[in-house]
A and B are shown apart, each in its own frame.
Chain A
Amino acid sequence: MWTKLWTTAGDNRARERAKLGVAGVRGRSPRVEEPVVEVHLNRREGCTVVGIVGELDLAGVPVVRPALLDALREDGGDVVIDLTGLDLIDSAGLGVVLGAVRRAREAGRPAKVVVRAPQVVRMFQVTGLDRVLDLRGDVEEAVGG
């Protein structure tokens, strides 16, 4: 297995902040101008798994979009976009995910999107994207088929 990591932070603050959620903001000062998103790339069982961790909004687009495009260039079979590490996604983030899925399909590679946090699931439902994307609730299930 190999792993690539895209982040301009160089530490795990995005992951820490992702865990904070709404409760966390009550007790911790935000750090402005730090990236709030990380991208991890893994290859598992013939699939390219792209994990996005933190908050995916307009600020994360310049980090996440090129990382996803890089991942799609890898010869890695099916594509799994793992959003289980996301605490928040808004329409700018949905657009990036949508674009990646479209490019994967154009390249003849089935793409699955894994979602877990209620806010993230809700965004796909509210926009109707749950009906056009192959959404899964678990990475193992997505990788396995």
Chain B
Amino acid sequence: MGEIRLEIPARPEYLSLARQVVATAAAIEPSMRDERIDDLRVAVSEATTNAIEAHAVLDGADRIVIRCNLGDDRIEVEVVDRGGGFDPDALAGPPDAGAPDRLEWERGLGIPLMRELTDETEIHTSEGGTAVRLVVYASSGRAAGDAPDDPTI
């Protein structure tokens, strides 16, 4: 399958479209389970949100490019922005769940979530922009029977 390329204005209203296009592309692969597509939708949402926020300091004319490539048993998504870049290793993660200040941590979950939800997350960033590469394999991740626990417990 060839590459699917989506170019969107750097505005939050387009997040839903980005997720839907990527989910639709992923669903072409018959072995890609809905749970993995859900994971990918959120990972794409995180990468695109970061890109939109990186563009906020620009004049708004530049667009964000999202490329999808479906391979054997996997989908690869790249989100490319022209924002100012950042140092992903310098970002502090949220405190542990039991920490008293955990509830005050309303931001900073995006990159840890991307890493958790995908099989591969690579971030290439410079002053000229950032490219985030997300890969999800149909055959990995949560097992089919690995349903979330009852949240009431």
Contacts and interface: CB of A to CB of B under 8 A. Distances in A.
Interface of A: 22-23, 25-26, 30, 32-34, 36, 55, 57-59, 61, 88, 90-92, 94-96, 98-99, 101-102, 105, 115, 118-119, 121-132, 135-138, 141
Contacts of A122: 38-39, 148
A57 B23 contact: no
A110 to B, nearest CB: 13
B45 A135 contact: no
B15 A59 contact: yes
Given A98-B106, A129-B97, 17 more contacts: A23-B34, A36-B16, A57-B12, A57-B49, A88-B19, A95-B107, A95-B109, A98-B105, A119-B41, A122-B38, A122-B148, A125-B148, A132-B98, A132-B102, A135-B152, A136-B152, A138-B152
B100 to A, nearest CB: 10
A105 B152 contact: no
Contacts of A102: 103-104
A92 to B, nearest CB: 6
Contacts of B80: none
> Which one of B15, B52, B53, B151 has the greatest number of beta carbons of chain A within 10 Å?
B151
Nearest to A93: B45
Interface stretch (B67-75, B82-90, B110-118): B110-118
A119 B103 contact: no
Contacts of B23: 22, 25
> Which one of A58, A61, A95, A99 has the greatest number of beta carbons of chain B within 10 Å?
A58
B64 interface: no
A67 to B, nearest CB: 16
Contact of B49 (A58, A105, A131, A136): A58
Interface in B122-139: none
Main SS of the interface on chain B? helix
Nearest to B114: A91
A90 B151 contact: no
A98 to B, nearest CB: 5
A132 B16 contact: no
Given A22-B27, A55-B16, A115 B49 contact: no
B151 A91 contact: no
Nearest to A127: B109
Given A91-B49, A122-B148, A128-B97, A59 B42 contact: no
Contacts of A123: 42, 113
